[in-house]
Amino acid sequence: MKRRAALILIVALCTACGMVVGPDPSASEVALFDRVWHDLDLHYSFFIIKQVNWDSLGAVYRPRALAAQNDDALAPVLVALLSTLHDDHILLGIGGNAYATSSSPYPNRFDPTITFGKYVQSLGSFSSGIDYGLATPTVGYIRVRLFDGSDLSADVDTALAQLGSVSALIVDVRHNGGGLVENATAIAGRFAEHATTVAYVRYRNGPAHSDFTAPIAQTVAPAGSRHYAGKVYILTDRNTYSAAELFVLSMRALGRTTVVGDTTGGEAGSPLVREMQNGWTYQFPESIEYTLDGRVFEDIGLPPDVPVQNTYAEINRLVDTQLERAIALATANN
């Protein structure tokens, strides 16, 4: 699962990509367009949920691809087509850069500098994206910036070891754009007592937009050198996405967890990555994630147990109401 990025309309890109060997330029460009369109038609998972008429969109944008004389002219056509899906997991890669076809509609009311400047005594920070410390002498705090990288789980083990015998733990995944599913479930494994089904996933497996596998259980098992058995408070906001949402689902299923903050962003689905003949790449999700009770949360999000929203005015006054509430709950329930 990929992190979110800002919308970029591509006007003149990849001048060094060169032409595809084959027919005349217009035929080459439309062949690239057709490949992307047909690939999503067969494998993209959210046509029905997003109520998209893919055939109609193909009819609108294919003539534009046919008129494109080179790669530079084709790029904005593909971006425009893919942008109609409003899916942050869809990216177009050109010349080593990934261009998003959607952007977050949600404001950012989270400032991590306030956390350690006012609320948490820092004990350590890792380049993997793990920051940790003490909110009170008995309440630990771990922030997971992203679920990317190979050292994440080991760094969480170190953080848990340094926090020692705190009676409650706050895990902050606000403004976490996701990353690797394996990291999300592995970190959740530090809190698992036994193997537990935490969510379900279905994959596209046929030509019809409604063709999917049966639900496949996603599980979390005990993992790591450190195990935490106390109460956990998860902080979320509208910019909590993708693998971070699977982490929230996992922690809820494991029990002893209260989610505090705002509803998550509602972007799931493991992406496929493809390469085109001209060296460009593109990615899109082929699966649908479900909660334990069978609900789809794409474009909806996962609601918190304790709803709390920060405001710009509070952030400007260096006040993090969401974190304050989590600390108060953790302290009261010690």
Task: Write out pLDDT tens, residues 89-118.
Answer: 999 998 877 776 666 667 778 899 999 989
The residue among 184, 178, 170 whose CA lies nearest residue 308 is 170
User: If one looks up domain 1-103+269-285 in CATH, what number appears?
Assistant: 3.30.750.44
- DSSP H stretches of helix in the chain: 25-43, 47-50, 54-67, 71-83, 112-114, 152-163, 181-188, 243-254, 312-316, 321-332
* Residue boundaries of the structural domains of the chain: 1-103+269-285, 112-266+301-332
Are 269 and 179 spatial neighbours (Cβ–Cβ below 8 Å)? no
Alpha carbon separation from 1 to 142, 184, 327 (Å, rounded): 22, 11, 30
Domain 112-266+301-332 class? alpha beta
Residue burial 269-280, b: 16+ Cβ < 10 Å; e: rest: bbbbebebebbb
DSSP state, 167?
Answer: S
Q: How far apart are CA 220 and CA 185, in angstroms?
A: 6
Burial of 244 (0-12, 13-18, 19+ CB in 10 A): buried
Structure tokens at 123: 């004990």
Alpha helices in 4-53 (DSSP H): 25-43, 47-50
**Which tens digits make up the pLDDT trace of 249-277?**
999 999 999 999 999 999 988 889 999 98
Q: What is the pLDDT along the chain (334 residues), one digit of tens a residue?
A: 443 333 333 323 332 333 233 444 444 899 999 999 999 999 999 999 999 999 999 999 999 999 999 999 999 999 999 999 999 899 999 887 777 666 666 777 889 999 998 999 999 999 999 999 999 999 999 999 999 988 899 999 999 999 998 999 999 999 999 999 999 999 999 999 999 999 999 999 999 999 999 999 999 999 998 899 999 999 999 999 999 999 999 999 999 999 999 999 999 888 899 999 899 999 999 999 999 999 999 999 999 999 999 999 999 999 999 999 999 999 997 6
- pTM here is 0.88
